[in-house]
Amino acid sequence: MSDNKLTAEVAETKPAPPSRWNVALNEILSGSIIISILSVVLALVVGAILIVLVDPKVATASGYFFARPLDTLGSMWDSASGAYSSLFQGAIYNFRRPDFASGIRPFTETLNFAAPLIVAGLGVALAFRVGLFNIGGRGQMLIAAACAGYVGFAFDLPPVLHLVVAIAAGLAGGALWGGIVGLLKARTGAHEVIVTIMLNYVAFYLVSYMLRTPGLLQAPGSNNPKTAPINPNAILPDLLGTTYNLNFGLIIVIALTVLVWWILSRSSLGFQFRAVGENPNAARVAGIRVDRMYIYAMLLSGGLVGMAGIIQVLGTVPSGFSSGIDAGIGFDAITVALLGRARPWGVFFAGLLFGAFKAGGFAMQAAEGIPIDIVLVVQSLIVLFIAAPPLVRALFRLPTPLGEHKPVSLRKPKLKAVAR
């Protein structure tokens, strides 16, 4: 490359600073908001394709595609739009109801599903920020649920106190189960991924044992592996009266989101957490007790994930629980934390979105006969697309923001003759 050309290029790439309008447009088009929206759209499109693929009506219509092609297209549209409209009506607002009060009920269901997802997601996200991967959500939820549930049905305390004691017991259980991981990691260097996976199984079998043993968790006079109903004094109160399922757990979750935000971005502990997460060696040199941070982080993470179990036991199903009480939330929480990019408010909205999918998914299954598993597909695709902005940009031909890595070319580089 000759010098003239080089200077010409420099002059080209550094013209007068771009106008503010251009900068703003570039930021909107390449920023994370539009990427997030486009990711959701893309995932929904893929979901629609899958729904259409397996619909028997579409298959029948495509049998005479060449005779009447519009029939196929029409049934495809019916299939996809029917699915998504029932998803929406199951998650946000049901237009078939006469008044607003009953039409908005699906949205309260969404909030109800979202509350444990958010708080468990916060726990996983907090561990992420310290560089720990907490796959132990299931175990932490089960132990917390068992502790809170036991206090909830076996004790007899005055109204508010009972609820507080039950929640405290659950938090202690979850924190203990997470804290074991932190302690082992700090003291012996045991890999947290292994230990959390193993503790999931330990917790599951421990709770299963207690559920079928009279005097521990099993309901008196019963042979089923199920607990007695929770004492009314320990049940999370309804927020909007008895017509809605929404309970006080949502308020706790919002408060905890603020608390986690404050811990991570405003407190000295959070600063140390993030320092360890960025680079544990540098943090150690800077005088941060890395080992202690691991323990504290796992205690907090376990407690937060445990809160999801507490909400399940004391709020969602207060009529007694069995070993399936975690309902897969411990694993969903990982996806929620990833979608929220391990930021407290990001997790909050990711949890809301996933709660909506869960509420709507059940409605869709009931109304259209579409397996709820499609929700898993759409959720995971959303996270996948959001995690890879270059892919979404390439699909929609959006500009690449300055200062970001271009995707790596996997093709073999061609040998260039370099004149020296």
Partner 1 sequence: MSVTTTNSNNASSAASGANSPSQVIVREKEAIRSWKAPISFAVFAALGVVLFWILGRDAVSNFRLSTDTDVIQLASVDLPTQLTGIVISLALILITAYSFWLSVVKRPTPIWVVTVYGVLFMVGFLTWAGAGESILVPGLLLGAVGLSIPLIFGAMGGIISERVGVVNIAIEGQLLAGAFVSAVVASVTGNAYLGLIAAMAAGMLVSFVLATFSIKYLVDQVIVGVVLNVLVLGLTSFFYSSILTENSSLLNSPPRFDRIEIPLLSQIPIVGPVLFRQTLIVYLMYIIVAVVAYALVKTKWGLRLRSVGEHPQAADTVGINVYMTRFWNVSLAGAIAGIGGAYFTLGSVGSFQKDMTAGAGFIALAAVIFGRWDPIRALLAALLFGFATNLQSVLAIIGSPVPSEFMLMLPYVVTIIAVAGFVGKVRGPAASGKPYIKG
Question: What is the contact surface with partner 1 in residues (CB under 8 A)?
Answer: 50, 54, 133, 135, 184, 187-191, 193-195, 197-199, 201-202, 205-206, 208-209, 213, 331, 334-335, 338, 370-371, 373-381, 383-384, 387-388, 390-391, 405, 407-410, 412
Q: Which is nearer to partner 1, 34 or 157 (CB)?
A: 34
CB of 27 to partner 1, least distance (A): 21
CB of 116 to partner 1, least distance (A): 17
CB of 180 to partner 1, least distance (A): 8
Beta-carbon contacts of 159 under 8 Å, excluding residues fewer than 6 positions away, are: 233
Side-chain-side CA neighbours of residue 29 (13 Å): 15
Q: Which is nearer to partner 1, 110 or 365 (CB)?
A: 365
CB of 214 to partner 1, least distance (A): 13
Helices (DSSP H) in 237-388: which residue ranges? 249-266, 268-278, 280-285, 290-311, 329-339, 344-368, 373-387
Q: Which is nearer to partner 1, 115 or 183 (CB)?
A: 183
Q: Which is nearer to partner 1, 141 or 246 (CB)?
A: 141
Q: Which is nearer to partner 1, 248 or 349 (CB)?
A: 349
CB of 291 to partner 1, least distance (A): 12
Residue entry with tokens 């909205």: 349
Q: Which is nearer to partner 1, 200 or 257 (CB)?
A: 200
Residue 404: burial class (beta carbons within 10 Å; 0-12, 13-18, 19+):
exposed
Q: Which is nearer to partner 1, 236 or 336 (CB)?
A: 336
DSSP single-letter state for residue 374: H
Alpha-carbon span 53 to 40, nearest angstrom: 20
CB of 372 to partner 1, least distance (A): 9
**Tokens at 225, concatenated:** 């592996």
Phi-psi region of 206 (alpha: psi -120 to 50; beta: other; left: phi over 0): alpha
CB of 71 to partner 1, least distance (A): 21
Alpha-carbon span 343 to 255, nearest angstrom: 15
Q: Name 214's bridge partners.
A: 218
Number of H helices, E strands in the chain: 18, 0
